Structure 1
Amino acid sequence: MTGLTENLYQYDETNERIVCHIIDAEGSLNRISELERKHQPGKTIIYGLPEHKTALEPAGYRQEGKISGFFNGQDSVVYTKFPDPDRANTILDEEVSKSMSIVEHDTTTYTNPELPADFHLEVATEEDMEAVASLYDRVFENYPTGVRDPSYLREKMGDSYFFVVVKDGEKVVSVAAALVRPRFNCAEITDCATDPNYRGHRLLYPIVIKLEELLIDKGIHTMYSMTRALSPGMNLTVKRLGYTFEGRLVNNCRIATGLEDMNIWTKVNG
């Protein structure tokens, strides 16, 4: 079972895209067309099932990737269409190719990396959100959600959205979050950032491992991450921690330099 009882539709104004989760491909197309006429998005994304290909491909969709186990253990195919044809053309192909070549040729693995001396790992609290938002603000000029606003973080955080941080003394120097999708019994490892002055210490490795442990304690074993295709760093991190590459989403969201390609990485623990 997918966990869906009806098709879900969302217009994401920040990223100029429509995002849908569907159980009925043919029944969803008219509704999506209505949303496209209303909002004029650059990209439409459908999280569906492999068998939806028959209905979606004739309507102009193509598979950009998949997320293994996304729908309560069933694989989700990520189908996309570009109402704005220019958005289908990434200007970063050469840079992305260089980045992914580094990742593809890397054979390092990590299982239990240790933090440097004097650094410590914590599950973040509301009191940390001011520092966490400040870190996001320093690292990202653009971001697809409101993480640079501490009030946004305090409002959103809870059992289904929580953070782990590394601190140097009392200073938050690295952070990542888990975004749980209870309907689908999976979670996204997201919102990863490290203070530029602390890069090279591999601080995200123990953070991601801790997030995975917390998710497993909640009974969630299927995890995925969307990483900037342009930057080797986070791609290397998740690959070294056992995640599998499952596709690249072109001009997917606004992050760092603007609209960027995002890689899909997945992992099933246990």
Structure 2
Amino acid sequence: MKDTIEKIGNSIIQHGRYNDRIYLMRSNPEDIPLLLDKLDALAEKESYSKIFTKVPESFKELLCDRDYLCEASIPRYYDGKENAVIMSKFLDDKRSIDCLNEMHENVVTTALSKRNDQQTNVPSEYSIRICDKNDITQMADLYKKTFETYPFPIHDPNYLLKTIEDNVVYFGAFKEEKIIALSSSEIEYGHSNVEMTDFATLPEFRGKGLSSYLLRKMEDEMKAKGIKTAYTIARASSYGMNIVFAKCGYEYYGRLVNNTNISGNIESMNIWYRNFQID
């Protein structure tokens, strides 16, 4: 069951039963006052339990007045200048409770303690490169093996092809021409930012630092494109992924409670951010 991506005005939302939510993925400031009414109406009609939005910080007060809470922020999200805030409205009290809060706090503390750890060079048996259309079958197979469920249909070759042709750059770690780990950079060219996402490693190759090698390659490519701000929405329960971003100099900027359907459950997610201009 896939969630639907659709356009309202000049803004883009994703919604559906899969994540039991509405996600305002990209907002046009001119849409926002009327758009909020439409999101409320859609949530009521479909009985969704959460709405979460990513909007310019200048709209924070307006959303607070509409019963949204600020769960996280992404500094310098818009053109390396204005901050984005992630504002959420919980329509079911149960969804607002982080039952794993103590563990999630420990994940962040552990990750931040690793920030100064030195990273090694890519071992000679692996190679890291941008994936192309010829890799799509292998990519879809790896994602199928890695995630039981995912908020976007990354196990579908047609979806992968469409995103490659649009605004997503996929990166692969290879061993003897076989993809053993993947990640993607979802670029918003209009605001010079990128989401570092879709990390997946075959079980037999985990613990070898492949996600860190991928992230470093991703950063090099994004800097070459002139992208100013990078961020990720990482599983709050994943020590590995949160440590990867902390090691690479990303800063923690908040948690989205019970936000995303991954591997069969609705999970909380952490926001990590880095600005290439001020490194």
TM-score (norm 1): 0.90
Greater Cα offset, 245-254 or 102-111: 102-111
Which runs of no fewer than 5 residues in structure 1 stay unpaired? 1-5
Q: Does 1:129 pair with 2:129? A: no
Aligned partner of residue 15 in structure 1, secondary structure: coil
Q: Distance in 1 between matches of 2:214 and 2:269?
A: 21
Q: How far off is 1:222 after superposition? A: 0.8
Give the structure 2 partner of residue 223 of structure 1: 230
TM-score (norm 2): 0.87
Aligned partner of residue 157 in structure 1, secondary structure: helix
Q: Would you say the 8 A contact 1:109–1:242 is kept in 2?
A: no
RMSD between superposed Cα atoms in Å? 1.9
- Structural mapping, 1:67-78, within 5 Å: 67-73=74-80, 74-78=82-86
Alignment length, in residue pairs? 264
Q: Does 1:105 pair with 2:113? A: yes
Q: Distance in 2 between matches of 1:221 and 1:109?
A: 24
Give the structure 2 partner of residue 95 of structure 1: 103
Q: Judging changes above 3 Å, is the alpha-carbon distance between structure 1 residues 37 and 191 closer, same or farther for their aligned structure 2 residues?
A: same
Q: Would you say the 8 A contact 2:167–2:186 is kept in 1?
A: yes
Name the amino acid aligned to 2:252: F
Deviations 1:106-131 (A, max 9, x none): 243346x3122221112111121211
Q: Does 1:253 pair with 2:257? A: no
Deviations 1:166-224 (A, max 9, x none): 11112111111000112322110010011111112101122111111211222212111
Deviations 1:53-90 (A, max 9, x none): 32222321110000112122210011101112221123
Give the structure 2 partner of residue 52 of structure 1: 59
Aligned partner of residue 118 in structure 1, secondary structure: coil
Give the structure 1 partner of residue 6 of structure 2: none
Q: Would you say the 8 A contact 1:187–1:222 is kept in 2?
A: yes
Aligned partner of residue 158 in structure 1, secondary structure: helix
Residue of 22, 29, 49 corresponding to 1:18:
22
Give the structure 1 partner of residue 251 of structure 2: 244
Q: Would you say the 8 A contact 1:163–1:178 is kept in 2?
A: yes
Q: Judging changes above 3 Å, is the alpha-carbon distance between structure 1 residues 93 and 70 closer, same or farther for their aligned structure 2 residues?
A: same
Q: Distance in 1 between matches of 2:140 and 2:103?
A: 29
Q: How far off is 1:150 after superposition? A: 2.0
Greater Cα offset, 46-55 or 245-254: 46-55
Q: Distance in 1 between matches of 2:139 and 2:78?
A: 31
Give the structure 2 partner of residue 37 of structure 1: 44
Q: Distance in 1 between matches of 2:106 and 2:196?
A: 24
Give the structure 1 partner of residue 124 of structure 2: 117
Greater Cα offset, 150-159 or 69-78: 150-159
Aligned partner of residue 165 in structure 2, secondary structure: coil
Which runs of no fewer than 5 residues in structure 2 stay unpaired? 1-8
Q: Percent identity?
A: 28
Q: How far off is 1:22 after superposition? A: 5.0
